[in-house]
A and B are shown apart, each in its own frame.
Chain A
């Protein structure tokens, strides 16, 4: 069994699709991730072997490696009859019509704008860069700050802070509040972990996502032009004190956890496209 995944050269794209790639690997599939040459080291750091490619090279690659399935983030028509699966996760992306045989969507439905395309739901797994585990020493609330934000006044809140200025997306599991700039992956990671969010949206796309998060009751937002250190501290303090957002976030995390895990989805997909699970994919055709 061979699965070829494509990954656009951006960390959120990688961390969003890695759980599905792992699920294929763990089930004994050969997995290759086709990605841009300079991004390959990041993919390799998730334990996934890569094949360097560009958009045009994908068809040739499929012709050469002959995967049983192609899982693409931005699907292009395939030259041969290989089942094509589109993988979606980003709540800020607007899904277009698709050429794919199947769409797998990890985005929590509450965050999806209207979309009529039938999809196979998959659980979003909150991932980020794996580094050494920090061990917490203090019994204080933990606040994760993703990106460059005006957070100078947070220190007085009597909490512990994790500053992730380089946006490596690893939210510690026992975080109490996530502060971010409307980044899609941080938003869904926080949701999957059941952590309330304080969002200072940076772009109009991020602002639309922030509105949906607020409407779900899991986030408070702050316009960038009025967001100073004092106001950010005030919002975070509110999230730490009043537990409504936390309760709602935990509820939504449970809903997400009830969706099929990537490991289950891999089996569904193998059945659907009749990929024979027992036995290796081996047709080398090389008679000595």
Chain B
């Protein structure tokens, strides 16, 4: 089988797709990742053959412009977030559609797998008459309709109405975390994944004190600084070992660090999180679901975008405590972490959810179902 994966710019859209891509490659299938911008390099650095579907576009500049115009930081109103998100992802999809259509004509995949925001994937598969499969990356969601509806490029292909539903949807959210009971599509195990790198030797050993991971994602460089400082201050006085990952972001201004905090520019969370007793983060889908799959209780300081929604779901499930990031005092954060480390039920519940996730069909199982699509 030939599987074409596709994701819009942004590492968060890309990394969740690799476990299925790897399962396909190691089952002998042909795989290609169609993306653009900085994601091209990130895909090549994950061992997956990649094709740039908008090579003539200065994606970085365009993406920055769209980011400024449709910034979701601090936006908590869902309708505004959907509208701005629609504009942004439709613009990116219009830029990528021609390249995606051309690549499908040449490479002739049997199926297209797309991130829910990569609406060009659904359109291009529809134009080629091959099945499209939505690959969830967190809480269950359909194809991001506001972007699909706002695309203009499909009209050049004589497509008056956007296609409706994909042939299948892969749902990576454990049912018990899906508190709104959406349960969409075929269940698949969530496999934590981020950019691979070296694990510092000291992190391979079991900690003598509880280890707390702190990360505020890769796109929150300036926005995360205040929350980060409060978190560091909160943990300074506790008998814990703190590992702070900057997630590859530059521009963090943290100031002087207490002796129990160690910083890394970047850490492979798939092997770091499982040895942690708690994680303090911003509520990005990758970290939220990575912690869920690793059985680690969470303190979440959401900033904007999908983060409050992710936080809500894991708080409802009893594996996380949410702290409003604008008003986050060190004392509040410290109290939340102490609660997770103490006698609260969060730890046991987190382990329960991790078991639930691990018992769901694996990416290989999902692949077997995809192979049966017409």
Binding site for B on A (CB under 8 A): 18-20, 22-23, 25-28, 30-32, 40, 43-52, 61, 64-66, 123, 125, 127, 130-133, 135-136, 170, 173, 257, 261-263, 277-282, 284-286, 288
Contacts and interface: CB of A to CB of B under 8 A. Distances in A.
Given A27-B362, A286-B209, 18 more contacts: A26-B22, A26-B23, A26-B191, A26-B364, A27-B191, A28-B358, A44-B198, A46-B46, A46-B47, A47-B196, A49-B198, A49-B199, A61-B204, A131-B44, A277-B358, A280-B274, A280-B293, A288-B342
Contacts of B196: 43-50
A135 B293 contact: no
Interface residues of B, number: 64
Nearest to A22: B22
* Best-buried of B193, B271, B357 by chain A (most CB within 10 Å): B271
Contact of B341 (A18, A131, A280, A288): A288
The winner among B40, B46, B49, B342 for most chain A CB atoms within 10 A is B49
Interface in B184-220: 189, 191, 193, 196-199, 201, 204-211
Contacts of B168: none
Contacts of A26: 19-20, 22-23, 26, 191, 362-364
A279 B47 contact: no
Contact of B198 (A40, A135, A282, A285): A40
Say whether chain B's binding surface is mostly helix, strand, loop, or mixed.
mixed
Contacts of B199: 32, 49-51
A30 to B, nearest CB: 5
A196 to B, nearest CB: 20
A51 B198 contact: yes
A279 B354 contact: yes
Interface string B33-69: 0000000100111111111100000000000000000
Interface of B: 18-20, 22-23, 25-28, 30, 32, 40, 43-52, 103, 106-107, 189, 191, 193, 196-199, 201, 204-211, 240, 268, 270-271, 274-277, 293-295, 338, 341-342, 351, 354-355, 357-359, 362-364
Shortest beta-carbon contacts, A-B, top 8: A288-B341, A22-B22, A47-B46, A46-B47, A49-B268, A26-B23, A19-B26, A64-B205
Contact of B107 (A25, A32, A47, A133): A133
A135 B274 contact: no
Given A25-B191, A261-B27, A288-B342, A280 B198 contact: no
Contacts of A46: 46-47, 196
A125 B25 contact: yes
Given A26-B19, A51-B198, A280-B355, A130 B206 contact: no
28 contacts: A20-B26, A23-B23, A23-B364, A26-B191, A27-B23, A28-B357, A31-B270, A31-B271, A44-B197, A44-B198, A45-B45, A46-B196, A49-B196, A51-B201, A65-B204, A125-B25, A125-B26, A127-B47, A130-B50, A131-B44, A133-B51, A133-B107, A135-B106, A261-B27, A263-B26, A280-B354, A284-B211, A284-B276
